[in-house]
Amino acid sequence: MKQISSHRILVLNPGSTSTKVGVFENKASLFSKVVRHRQEDIKAYSNIVDQYQFRKQAILESLDVEGISLSKIDAVVGRGGLLRPIESGTYEISGAMIKDLREGKYGEHASNLGALIAFEISTQLNIPSYIVDPVVVDELMPEARLTGLKEIKRKSIFHALNQKSAARKAADEIGKPYEEANLIVVHLGGGITVGAHKDGKVADVNNGLNGDGPFSPERSGTLPVADVISMCFSGRYTISEMMKKAAGQGGLVSYFGTNNAEEVEAQIVQGNHEAEEVMRAMAYQIGKEIGARSVCLSGKVDAIILTGGLAHSEWLTGEIIKMVSWISDVIVYPGEDELRSLAEGALRVLKKEEEPKIYGYKEG
């Protein structure tokens, strides 16, 4: 095998409102781009796998415009999607993984496309492909798994990649090992997740996809369950329409038809009362969720971290900070560095510092 000390890595990060693409030479970013997707464009697809060509096109066009040739790439890494619950780490993209993602066996989210597109490109180029810290990383403590219905267990579905990396960065900043810090990390993206990080594990977090936690640019968040049951049996909606109300057509999309929080914030500045009321309610729900996580940590919170695309909004972070600053210091990391986290996860394996984990077939 060719001995290479330098690794050029193509990084793909499909999210609910954007597709992010980058190229790294070892740890140095050579190029990165965020392609934002309008709600009207995404709405045209009935399920996530149908967005495959649309997202792949966005990636290939971005590389083309930049004059980046795929032939120079040594590995591809994609954001990991809805698989069965697994531990944190870098995983080789496997046949079993591709099968589960194609079938949508564990649900639908844009991140499912990360491995699917990475796998196709890597197969054509005969190079390795990976995912890192997919959205199903599961470190929940036992009591966080139960609900008040025996048949329903809570699931760990969240922005694991950015939550873990933001938590490590904050732990570094406050001078504690991540494994000894008590942190609340809030990822404010197309979905919103609020995690309690205790002893290096995400002991509790809202399921950011399936109607749990604060509403977000495109998620309903927690809803009164009897009202949802009534809607389901009203005869007015199909199961697919109801699922989309929870993820895709919920939150800001439900009120304003857009997943773009910047647009809604601009409406507040122009004096739109409904825009202000809804954004305040979203901030309020986020604040309440942070309060709940502080209880998971018995009130011993080293820091609250606000991160993700919406953390660019000083209006929103200001509203949240007013509610929660009595709990602990609040650190704001606007945006995310998921492309770098993905590249570094792949690099550790390429440099043989770490063995890749294997996602195999499982019965049932």
Ligand X SMILES: CCCC(=O)OP(=O)(O)O
Rounded to 5°, angle at Cα 99 from 144 and 208: 30
Contact positions vs ligand X (CB under 6 A): 15-16, 109, 135, 157-159, 189-191, 208-209
Chain residues 325-344 in contact with ligand ADP, contact rule CB under 6 A:
336
Supply the minimum distance, in Å, between the C-beta of residue 260 and ligand ADP.
4
| Residue 78 binding partner per list ligand ADP, ligand X, none, with a CB distance cut-off of 5 to 8 Å that depends on partner kind | none
Regarding 190 and contact with ligand ADP (CB under 6 A), the answer is yes
Supply the minimum distance, in Å, between the C-beta of residue 336 and ligand ADP.
6
**How buried is residue 277: exposed, middle or buried, by Cβ count under 10 Å (0-12/13-18/19+)?**
exposed
Regarding 189 and contact with ligand ADP (CB under 6 A), the answer is yes
**Pairwise CA distance, residues 136 & 100, whole Å:** 13
CA distances 5 to 170, 217, 309, Å, are: 31, 42, 34
Give residue 124's identity as a one-letter amino acid code.
Answer: Q
Residue 304 β-bridge partners: 184, 330
| Residue 208 binding partner per list ligand ADP, ligand X, none, with a CB distance cut-off of 5 to 8 Å that depends on partner kind | ligand X
Chain residues 216-275 in contact with ligand ADP, contact rule CB under 6 A:
217, 259-262, 265
Contacts of 11 (CB under 8 A, 6+ apart): 20, 21, 22, 23, 24, 76, 77, 78, 339, 342, 343, 346
| Residue 261 binding partner per list ligand ADP, ligand X, none, with a CB distance cut-off of 5 to 8 Å that depends on partner kind | ligand ADP
**Pairwise CA distance, residues 190 & 156, whole Å:** 17
| Residue 157 binding partner per list ligand X, ligand ADP, none, with a CB distance cut-off of 5 to 8 Å that depends on partner kind | ligand X
97-136 mask for ligand ADP (x: CB under 6 A)?
A: ----------------------------------------
How does strand 28-36 pair with strand 201-205? unpaired
Interface residues with ligand ADP (CB under 6 A) are 15-18, 189-190, 217, 259-262, 265, 308-310, 312-313, 336
